[in-house]
Amino acid sequence: MTPIITVKNVSKRYKFQSFRPSLRHELGQMVKRVVGKTLDASWEEKPFWSIRDVSFSLNAGDSLGVIGSNGAGKTTLLRLLSGIIEPTAGEIQVTGQFAPLIGLGAGFDQERTGRENIYLNAAIQGSSVQKVNSVLAQIIDFTELNEFIDRPVKIYSSGMVARLGFSIAFFLAPDIVFLDEVFSVGDIGFQSKSMDRIMEFKERKTTLVFISHSLDTVRAMCERTIWLEHGQIKMDAPTDEVLDAYKAAQIVTAPETA
């Protein structure tokens, strides 16, 4: 079987002095490329390797969890897979249409309305206007945004933005979905609704790459898990094996209490 995602010896080096480029900055650069705006000047010098020599592959229908402590390189990996940033070294091949749910406002233009951003986000994912038109009513209904759908995204709450992004991804039925802590936003009802939809993705045999600090959610959603540490793969195995090893390591490294 030909893999739907192939990552070969991928590394990502950032250069910065006073700041490391944020997800919001990088997503802004991606949106500007799509709408044809001039990109901002690049930042400066000091190197930092966020991902180092990472390799793995996924077949269609696989579900992969990615775990690790803060700063381990998890979100950088999803940005690379989504094409938001490019690797410093190595190769990434992603076959098929994908949806990146990797942060609030991913792929959104804050000045445009929710309705306009549906078309913009769909274009970033590679969907046609005709396909969007065929599911537009369902997308809007799922968001529960009502009259806010025709107001600028910059006035949306985090939960409203999450609803919009998730609904676009679900109804455009991508081959691959990249998820980064999508359940940490919105109210309890939305989180439950999101989890139900993710399980529908799995039933459809959609390929999933899921980052989370919730080990129970990773265990429920993913058959295989990668443990990242300092930007490198420490373990890549069936989820139960990886989570057991990860939890054991956290216990060993936890500081002693007085």
For the chain, which residues make up each domain, given as ranges? 5-253
d(Cα 14, Cα 17) in Å, to the nearest integer? Answer: 10
- The candidate with the shortest Cα–Cα distance to 158, out of 204, 191, 126, is 191
**Six-digit token pair at 41?**
């000047």
Helix ranges, the chain (H)? 23-35, 74-82, 114-125, 129-143, 158-171, 188-203, 215-221, 239-253
In this predicted model, what pLDDT tens digit does every residue of 147-163 receive, in sequence order?
999 999 999 987 788 78
**Six-digit token pair at 59?**
């077949």
- The candidate with the shortest Cα–Cα distance to 169, out of 205, 128, 122, 202, is 122
> What is the pLDDT, as a whole number, of residue 36?
63
SS3 string, 178-208, reads EEECHHHCCCHHHHHHHHHHHHHHHHCCCEE
Give the three-state DSSP class for 230.
Answer: coil
**Six-digit token pair at 35?**
């709408």
> What is the pTM (predicted TM-score) of this model?
0.78
Are residues 172 and 204 in contact, defined by beta-carbon separation less than 8 angstroms?
A: no
Burial class (CB in 10 A: 0-12, 13-18, 19+), 70: exposed
> What is the pLDDT, as a whole number, of residue 189?
73
Strand partners, 13: 49
> What is the pLDDT, as a whole number, of residue 80?
94
Q: How far apart are the first and last CA of the chain?
A: 54
In this predicted model, what pLDDT tens digit does every residue of 19-57 receive, in sequence order?
455 555 666 666 666 666 555 545 445 688 999 999 999
Task: Classify domain 5-253 by CATH architecture.
Answer: 3-Layer(aba) Sandwich (3.40)
Are residues 210 and 221 in contact, defined by beta-carbon separation less than 8 angstroms?
A: yes
**Six-digit token pair at 242?**
């990886």
Burial class (CB in 10 A: 0-12, 13-18, 19+), 228: buried
Are residues 135 and 172 in contact, defined by beta-carbon separation less than 8 angstroms?
A: yes
d(Cα 75, Cα 179) in Å, to the nearest integer? Answer: 9
Which position has the higher pLDDT, 197 or 242?
242
In this predicted model, what pLDDT tens digit does every residue of 121-154 receive, in sequence order?
888 777 889 999 999 999 999 888 999 999 999 9
Task: Give me the DSSP letters along 153-176.
Answer: GGG--HHHHHHHHHHHHHHT--SE
Q: How many CA atoms lie within 13 A of 214 on its CB side?
A: 14
Are residues 60 and 201 in contact, defined by beta-carbon separation less than 8 angstroms?
A: no
